[in-house]
Homo-oligomer: A and B are copies of this chain.
Amino acid sequence: MRPEDLVVLKLGGSAITFKDRPLEADETTIKRLAGEIAASGVCKLIIVHGGGSFGHPLAHRYGIHEGLKGNWQLRGLAETHLAMEELNRLVVGALAAEGLPAVPLPPISCFTTRRGRISKAFLEPLRALLALGAVPVLYGDVVLDEAQGFAILSGDQITAYLALTLGASRVVLALCVDGVFTKDPLKHPDARLVERLRPEDLSALEAGGSAALDVTGGMGEKLREMAPVASAGVPVLLVNARVPGNVLKALRGEKVRGTLFLA
């Protein structure tokens, strides 16, 4: 891997928070991941993290994902963003403690959407930070939407957008599962990890085909978001961040258990 190669690392919300405990971060995992990121030696890195138990409960309580319905949601917009900022502070703090010059770039201030899809992006600060050697940190956030007032912009959409726009060499998705399975592994003991996945496998499945893939939960949406990246020839590696050393290996480009999504 060359020093000029850009890597986009997505830290899944479910990997860094306790899904069933609102506003509770898994600080032990965050600290360990920060250590792995610092040890990886990747020079040009963007980190994007999800919201997990910070963003989702508030966004749902106020119907933020449905766009503007009434003024009572304004407070929800502010609260949802502040909750995401709180999680972001823990992530950035852990990175800083490892000596990484991490700089948060809140998506609410540098992206707008149109019906939930990115319509405008102000990437000058991000590009300049990367050129200096700093580590921009973004996250799933509530953003202003040209058509519906506001919307939830997922960390996955940001990850795919940045990887394509900035020409990333690799994307690493750090999740709380090993990758994509043939069946739901929680229900089927014979479920197998899919080590190599192509965008065509996903299209076949969507067309009602017989591809043996478990895309329940958020996995289907995640793969659809990443499909243009994989199709563009940028490897997207899904690994389990709960297993120590996985993110380190994935960042270094070493062999690691997971799913490689690539055309």
Q: Which residues of A contact B (CB under 8 A)?
A: 68, 71, 74-75, 77-79, 81-82, 85, 89, 92-93, 96, 99, 101-106, 108-112, 120, 122, 124-125, 128-129, 132-134, 143-144, 146, 149-150
A-B contacts, 9 of them at CB < 8 A, read A74-B132, A74-B133, A78-B134, A81-B104, A82-B92, A106-B106, A106-B109, A108-B125, A112-B125
Least CB distance, A40 to chain B, in whole angstroms = 18
Closest to A110 in B: B109
> Contact: A132 with B109, CB < 8 Å?
no
* B144 adjacent to A125 (CB under 8 Å): yes
Residues of B within 8 A of A124 (CB): 112, 120, 144
Q: In whole angstroms, what is the CA distance A110 to B89 when docked?
A: 19
Are B132 and A110 in touch, CB under 8 angstroms?
no
Contact B74 A134 (CB under 8 A): yes
Residue numbers in B under 8 Å from A132 (CB-CB): 68, 74, 77, 144, 149-150
Residues of B within 8 A of A74 (CB): 101, 132-134
| A109 and B109 form a contact (CB under 8 A) | yes
List, in ascending order, chain B residues with CB within 8 A of A106's CB. Answer: 104-106, 109
Least Cβ–Cβ distance between A136 and chain B, in angstroms? 9
Rounded to whole Å, the gap between the CB of A132 and the closest CB of chain B is 6
**Contact between B78 and A102, CB atoms less than 8 A apart:** yes
Contact, CB under 8 Å: A79 / B96? yes
User: What residues of chain B lie closer than 8 Å to A120, measured between beta carbons?
Assistant: 122, 124
Are A144 and B122 closer than 8 Å at their CB atoms? no
A78 to B129 Cα, complex, angstroms: 10
Name, among A77, A78, A82, A128, the residue most crowded by chain B CB atoms within 10 Å (CB to CB). A78
**Which residue of the partner chain B has the closest CB to A100?**
B78
Contacts of A109 in B (CB 8 A): 104-106, 109-110, 122, 125
B residues in contact with A105, CB < 8 Å: 106, 108-109
Q: Nearest chain-B residue to A102 (Cβ)? A: B78
Contact A122 B110 (CB under 8 A): yes
Q: How far is the CB of A194 from chain B (nearest CB, A)?
A: 37
Known contacts A74-B133, A85-B89, A128-B149; can you find 16 more A-B pairs with CB under 8 A? A74-B134, A77-B103, A77-B134, A78-B101, A81-B104, A82-B93, A85-B104, A104-B106, A104-B109, A106-B106, A109-B109, A110-B110, A111-B125, A112-B124, A120-B122, A125-B143
Specify which of B89, B102, B112, B133 is in contact with A128 (CB 8 Å cutoff): B112
CB A140 to nearest CB in B, in angstroms, measures: 16
